[in-house]
């Protein structure tokens, strides 16, 4: 935890590459290393994209610690923002501190290809080296892609996958499979019944109300909570509130309002971030 304290107090330049590498090695021990996590949490916080915006990750964490609530982050910790290495270190430190109360899911920006295009690789190489970048990329493989909470809520960065009927089958997906990647790339679409190609993303799938309802009914679940898309108001409900999409960074674009969610049984409170 000394490394994160140094970053928060003195900045990323107070930390050597060796120290950051050692921190990554330590953090990896606490990650689940499997695709699917199931928890019996009935009350918890959910955070959407934070994209290198440290304050967007910190505010929900402070509420989580103060109220003694578990917290789940839905991915996209790096790329675009001003504090990418800092933000990644912060969320990993939460996992080390409270391993049974923190879940970090993998987003589509926890991939080498996207990090090359959207800035994180450049950030790491400018401050440190390619060696650290590749070590972080290997860490991504240990992040789960789906959490099922209280046998009610299905949480993922993108959502459901066209190749998965039973959510328990997610555990067996190979990381190179399209069905695995769809979980952090797919988007909901009001104009779609089940699945259609997602041309806006250049690939993967849009999924519609029938696909979501059938998936939830088949698995005895109530709701999908996901991230992956920007909304000026910080959230959007879809499909008669069977799906909630959250974006947690404020002032990301045109003075938007970021949100995170506090879930208590069937009640969801959306909180300004």
Structure tokens at 228: 């992956």
Decide: 152 and 44 in contact? Cβ < 8 Å.
no
Environment class of 109 (CB within 10 Å of its CB; exposed 0-12, middle 13-18, buried 19+)? buried
Annotation says 109 is catalytic: yes
Structure token digits, residue 249 = 């960074």
Catalytic residue among 109, 157, 175, 228: 109
Q: Which residues are catalytic?
A: 109
């Amino acid at each position: 935890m000394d490394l994160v304290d140094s970053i928060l107090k003195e900045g990323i330049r107070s930390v050597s590459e060796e120290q950051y590498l050692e921190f990554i090695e330590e953090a990896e021990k606490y990650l689940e290393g499997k695709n699917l996590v199931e928890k019996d949490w009935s009350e918890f916080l959910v955070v959407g994209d934070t994209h290198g915006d440290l304050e967007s990750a910190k505010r929900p964490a402070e509420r989580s610690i103060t109220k003694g609530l578990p917290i789940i982050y839905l991915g996209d910790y790096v790329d675009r923002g001003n504090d990418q290495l800092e933000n990644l270190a912060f969320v990993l430190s939460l996992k080390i501190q409270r391993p049974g109360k923190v879940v970090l899911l993998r987003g589509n920006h926890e991939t080498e290809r996207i990090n090359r295009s959207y800035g994180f690789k450049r950030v790491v190489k400018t401050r440190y080296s390619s060696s650290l970048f590749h070590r972080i990329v290997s860490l991504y493989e240990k992040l789960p892609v789906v959490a099922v909470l209280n046998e009610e809520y299905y949480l993922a960065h993108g959502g459901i996958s066209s190749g998965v009927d039973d959510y328990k089958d997610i555990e067996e997906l190979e990381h190179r499979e399209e069905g695995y990647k769809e979980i952090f790339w797919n988007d909901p679409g009001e104009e779609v019944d089940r699945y259609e190609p997602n041309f806006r993303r250049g690939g993967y799938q849009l999924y519609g109300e029938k696909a979501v309802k059938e998936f939830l009914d088949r698995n005895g679940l109530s709701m999908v909570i996901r991230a992956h898309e920007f909304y000026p108001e910080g959230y959007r409900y879809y499909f008669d509130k069977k799906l909630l999409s959250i974006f947690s960074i404020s002032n990301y674009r045109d003075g938007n309002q970021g949100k995170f969610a506090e879930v208590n049984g069937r009640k969801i409170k959306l909180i300004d971030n």
